[in-house]
């Protein structure tokens, strides 16, 4: 593609689309082609965005009531829906994920995020207490929600639009203003969102978008800015630690959804075919690049060999290819750099003594996809629980399967992790499901399913998997300050 025809992705600051002098390349993980040139924000641009957000907080946006803000969010949702195919193309261009997944999950969920939080904000609970006083007249104590202020949002590359809107929607619903930084790997759908927000008539400065990297770039400039009131971040645990140090002096509100080394547990009484299909999906969806994916699989010994054989057969048949192929099951990893990280674990697993049941290699297509970032779905057995490939998050299409003999044993092994995000249990014994789920040290446990979400429920992890909860009123609690008002009667 001639350089002059490559699109430029700009920042959106104070109601204007602006360019900066330095740019970086946005490349397709499918075939390595240049998708766009992305402007990188300097410190002055980030400061301008923060100051615009600060002014907007005290301007017309701050005068809107919750019903009016909800109406704005519904207009944004309608705008995404009107440009549905544009958003699908942007997501697929940046991530290489199957077209069907972008349509059914990513863009559809972005629309739902705005509509859900618009409606939740309108019905958010407050408290009212009648308080006795010495003179007998009494008092009323009631709570109100106030915006936190200017919120810095840093979103990841694995589900770019879904996770960005998951934060922007409740932040705006609660009356905050926003400075968002998407991943440098996936800027396109965020830029489209800025266009939709602009067209929806959102006042200048309410939503700002800056592009760039982490350290020494837009991410660091944003997290260290003294006029940011809160930071919400989804991404790697190490980056979360860095952000925590950056905001500690200002004692700012933080919400972190970080990594996971999630387990799936398959008991011998499980619906065998459903469990195989479920673990296939939970291990390899989006090339394993979902924080909720199962990288550790524990199978009760009587069905262990049969389960490994069945999962291998399904993984070997997993179709890898172009995102617009209607039969494709899995696209590439996000980048060549990330593929090298995943491949380094593939090599390490062999060094640690793993049996490679399936995959472990790079597919050869004989076409442009050979310039992409593909790997095969990979299954290992034979590693001890303390092996690095069993304890460290890989974030690729890979799982290790190990046998277990007793319920108490598998609970202890699942919990023996620095992470604690999610777990999937497969069993037809309802009493066992309730009993085990309560003992697993994670924020979210599925029973006989995976990735089934109700947006009103809490989402988040423990340990290295994060701080705080998102979803429903839990998101509203983070993006608002609850204040008490006492009226003496």
* 124-133: pLDDT as tens digits: 878 999 999 9
- Alpha carbon distances (Å) from 364 to 314, 358, 416: 20, 16, 38
- Sorted by sequence, the CB contacts under 8 Å of residue 443 that are 6+ apart come out as 420, 421, 422, 458, 459, 460, 461, 462, 465, 466, 469
- The structure tokens listed for 133 are 């006083």
Predicted pLDDT at 126: 82
Q: Answer yes or no: are the C-beta atoms of 14 and 52 closer than 8 Å.
A: yes
Q: In the chain, where does the domain assigned CATH 3.40.605.10 lie?
A: 3-258+465-488
- Alpha carbon distances (Å) from 115 to 163, 173, 271: 15, 10, 36
Active site residue: 40, 174, 253, 291, which one?
A: 291
Measured CA to CA, the distance from residue 232 to residue 223 in angstroms comes to 10
**pLDDT, tens digit, for every residue of 173-184?**
999 999 999 999
**pLDDT, tens digit, for every residue of 342-362?**
999 999 999 999 999 999 999
Predicted pLDDT at 2: 40
Active site residue: 184, 220, 253, 257, which one?
A: 257
409 among known catalytic residues? no
Measured CA to CA, the distance from residue 91 to residue 187 in angstroms comes to 9
Predicted pLDDT at 403: 98
43 among known catalytic residues? no
Q: Answer yes or no: are the C-beta atoms of 157 and 186 closer than 8 Å.
A: yes
Helix axes 84-95 and 66-82, enclosed angle (nearest 10): 70
CATH code that applies to domain 262-454:
3.40.309.10
Predicted pLDDT at 4: 56
**pLDDT, tens digit, for every residue of 412-438?**
999 999 999 999 999 999 999 999 999
What are the φ/ψ torsions at residue 470 (nearest 5 degrees)?
Answer: -120, 160
Q: Which residues pair with 486 in a beta bridge?
A: 141
Collapsing DSSP to helix, strand or coil, 478 comes out as: helix
Predicted pLDDT at 250: 81
The per-residue pLDDT string of the chain (489 residues; one tens digit each, 9 = 90 and over) reads: 344 589 999 999 999 999 999 999 999 999 999 999 999 999 999 999 999 999 999 999 999 999 999 999 999 999 999 999 999 999 999 999 999 999 999 999 999 999 999 999 998 878 999 999 999 999 999 999 999 999 999 999 999 999 999 999 999 999 999 999 999 999 999 999 999 999 999 999 999 999 999 999 999 999 999 999 999 999 998 899 889 888 887 888 899 999 999 999 999 999 999 999 999 999 999 999 999 999 999 999 999 999 999 999 999 999 999 999 999 999 999 999 999 999 999 999 999 999 999 999 999 999 999 999 999 999 999 999 999 999 999 999 999 999 999 999 999 999 999 999 999 999 999 999 999 999 999 999 999 999 999 999 999 999 999 999 999 999 999 999 999 999 999
pTM of the model: 0.95
The CATH architecture assigned to 3-258+465-488 reads 3-Layer(aba) Sandwich (3.40)
Which residue from 39, 41, 43, 11 is spatially nearest to 26, judged by alpha carbons? 39
Q: Answer yes or no: are the C-beta atoms of 297 and 399 closer than 8 Å.
A: yes
Measured CA to CA, the distance from residue 1 to residue 7 in angstroms comes to 11
Q: In the chain, where does the domain assigned CATH 3.40.309.10 lie?
A: 262-454
Collapsing DSSP to helix, strand or coil, 37 comes out as: strand
């Amino acid at each position: 593609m001639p350089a002059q025809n490559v699109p430029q992705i700009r920042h959106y600051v104070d109601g204007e689309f602006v360019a900066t002098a330095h740019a970086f390349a946005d490349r397709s993980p499918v075939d390595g082609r240049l998708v766009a040139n992305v402007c990188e924000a300097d410190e002055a641009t980030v400061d301008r965005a923060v100051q615009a957000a600060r002014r907007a907080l005290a301007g017309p946006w701050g005068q809107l009531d919750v019903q009016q803000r909800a109406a704005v969010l519904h207009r944004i949702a309608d705008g995404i829906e009107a440009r549905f195919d544009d958003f699908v193309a942007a997501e697929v261009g940046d991530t290489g994920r199957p077209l069907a997944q972008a349509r059914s999950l990513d863009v559809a969920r972005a629309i739902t995020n705005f509509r859900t939080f618009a409606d939740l904000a309108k019905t958010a609970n407050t408290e009212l207490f009648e308080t006795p006083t010495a003179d007998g007249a009494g008092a009323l104590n009631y709570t109100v929600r106030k915006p936190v202020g200017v919120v810095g949002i840093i979103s990841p590359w694995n589900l770019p639009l879904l996770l960005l809107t998951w934060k922007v929607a409740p932040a705006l619903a609660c009356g905050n203003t926003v400075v968002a930084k998407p991943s440098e790997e996936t800027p396109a759908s965020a830029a489209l969102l800025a266009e939709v927000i602009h067209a929806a008539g959102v006042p200048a400065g309410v939503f700002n978008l800056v592009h760039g990297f982490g350290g020494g770039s837009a991410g660091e400039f944003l997290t260290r800015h003294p006029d940011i009131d809160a930071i919400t971040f989804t991404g790697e645990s190490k980056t979360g630690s860095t952000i925590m140090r950056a905001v500690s002096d200002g004692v700012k509100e933080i919400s972190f959804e970080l990594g996971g080394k999630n387990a799936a547990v398959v008991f011998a009484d499980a619906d065998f075919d459903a469990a195989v299909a479920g673990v296939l999906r939970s291990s390899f969806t989006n090339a394993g690049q979902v924080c909720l994916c199962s990288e550790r699989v524990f199978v009760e010994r009587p069905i262990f060999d049969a389960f490994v054989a069945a999962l291998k057969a399904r993984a070997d048949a997993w179709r890898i290819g172009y995102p617009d192929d209607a039969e494709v099951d899995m696209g590439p990893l996000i980048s060549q750099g990330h593929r090298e990280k995943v491949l380094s674990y593939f090599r390490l697993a062999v060094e640690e003594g793993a049996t490679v049941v399936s995959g472990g290699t790079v597919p050869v297509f004989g076409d442009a996809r050979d310039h992409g970032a593909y790997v095969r779905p990979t299954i290992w057995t034979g590693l001890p629980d303390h092996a690095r490939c069993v304890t460290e998050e890989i974030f690729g299409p890979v799982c290790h399967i190990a046998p277990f003999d007793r319920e108490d044993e598998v609970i202890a092994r699942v919990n023996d992790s620095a992470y604690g995000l999610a777990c999937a249990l497969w069993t037809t014994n309802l009493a066992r499901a309730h009993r085990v789920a309560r003992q697993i040290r994670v924020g979210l446990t599925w029973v006989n399913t995976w990735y089934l979400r109700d947006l009103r429920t809490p989402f988040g992890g423990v340990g290295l998997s994060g701080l705080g909860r998102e979803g429903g009123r839990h998101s509203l609690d983070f993006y608002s300050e609850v204040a008490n008002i006492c009226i003496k009667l």
